[in-house]
Chains A and B, each alone.
Chain A
Amino acid sequence: MIPSAFAYERAQSVRDAVRLLESHQGEAKILSGGHSLIPLLKLRLTSPSVLIDIGGLSELRGISAGEDQVVVGALTTHAEVANSPVIKEKLPLLAEAARQIGDLQVRNRGTVGGSLAHADPASDLPAVALALDAVLTLEGPDGRNEIPIGDFILGPLLTALGGSDVVVSISFPIPKGRWKGAYEKYPHPASGYAVVGVAAVLAVDGGGLIREARVGITGAADTPYRAREVEAALIGKPADEETIRQAAEQADAEGSFSGDLFASADYRRHLCKVYARRALARALP
């Protein structure tokens, strides 16, 4: 569990981090909280020749809330998200999910931007980011650009992040009107990652019909996905248990499932439906 040798650079600014990434041409990796990268280094599954430490960049840290959205700096830790009064008030779903990430050490060190950039297919945040339609702000050699979470995560450990891009922040839109969200997770007993994690957001109109529904599912399939068939089965229907029960049956309609030692593909499909139903039931506004 000893990494091979690497050079260490400490970025002075986001610009500087981008410049360093560019100058090392794919040989460098960004180090933020280190809770995804360092285990990989120790196992020698990755051996970048340079680590660019952005841990000291306070510009990347912090939570700010407006009327329409909550913006979380990439370096904000899971613990900060879980304990943030603003997030608890505006997006309790996000705090609820952050509380369930890893263990205390992981939450104290691991960062929101780092977790999304690493794109572990069983990490918790992608489900919530999908359900909230989050948008990431990236900075690269050509300046800043925004990318929706659905376009950002391309596959297991694979994102649209360019070789010289740094995640700056993530903005989570606050749903309008009467709405509620919930995250239901089945943690792997060993790793604590989600065997299945379902984040659900439901908004209803004045007549009690579901106006908006978004369901993000992580862990179960090869990559986190939006359960669009579930959503389609919800919209315009009465916000009740029966609607949810039927819609949740579609939770495995998207996603590519394969099994591992702990859970077969069939079992994962089944858990998707059960956990989708449970998350939706709690998300009834």
Chain B
Amino acid sequence: MNNLIAYSFKEWLTDQLYFLGGLVYLTRDCLREGFKKPHNTKLLVEQIYQVGYRSFPLVLVTSGAIGMVMALQFGYGLEKFGGKPYVPRLVASTILREIGPMFTSLMFAARVGAGIASEIGSMVVTQQIDAIRALGSSPIKKIVIPRVLACLIVLPLLAAMANVIGNLGGLVVGSLELNIDAQFYYRRIIETSNIKDYMSGFGKTFFFALFIAIPSCYFGLNVKNGTQEVGVATRKAVVTSSLLILIGDFFLAKIFWVLEKWL
């Protein structure tokens, strides 16, 4: 039994080291190839459309719903202490610093991370990645870099939109359900939120974009044994990206607090 546990742990550890090594190599290759000319703007625009424009409805619904729920919970919770006027500040601050960027990133990981891993995995299975190589092109340049860049461009924008929509959702519930004057609610958001709140959330999205794009591309490119593994790669991409976002969020939040104090 002990041997079995030791063996499983060893296997797990080896897998994790391979994964970490693979991510480092893939990031290195992206940096190397990314600066080489020619740069393919058309592929980047296509990816921005695929991962960005098409993710917008999902972000809209998620952030709107979260803003509404938060306003409702804070409102009813604070009502007994006479704290309803603090709802706009609380909702805005939580959305801007944490919930907006993080939930957007998690939804993005589920939709886009899964899409990237399965698409690239299918391309590996159908030998399209081999064909790119055989035709004298680099799959890193043609497939990975446009997706990574698209995520880096799109996720911060989606998070910015999520911040606005989330607060709008809070405002709607605040005025309709909690009877807080809409103008008062709006003014409180503007007065009490500051650029530091916004930047600490917004800044994290660039890291989250990398946490989603690089592992998803890695798992897709490492599909080996047919279509069954495409599903496995997709699952691994979503789980890994989500974990990286959640764990990374803690450390990034700490770093941003230190930076805020320092500045």
A and B held together in a complex: no
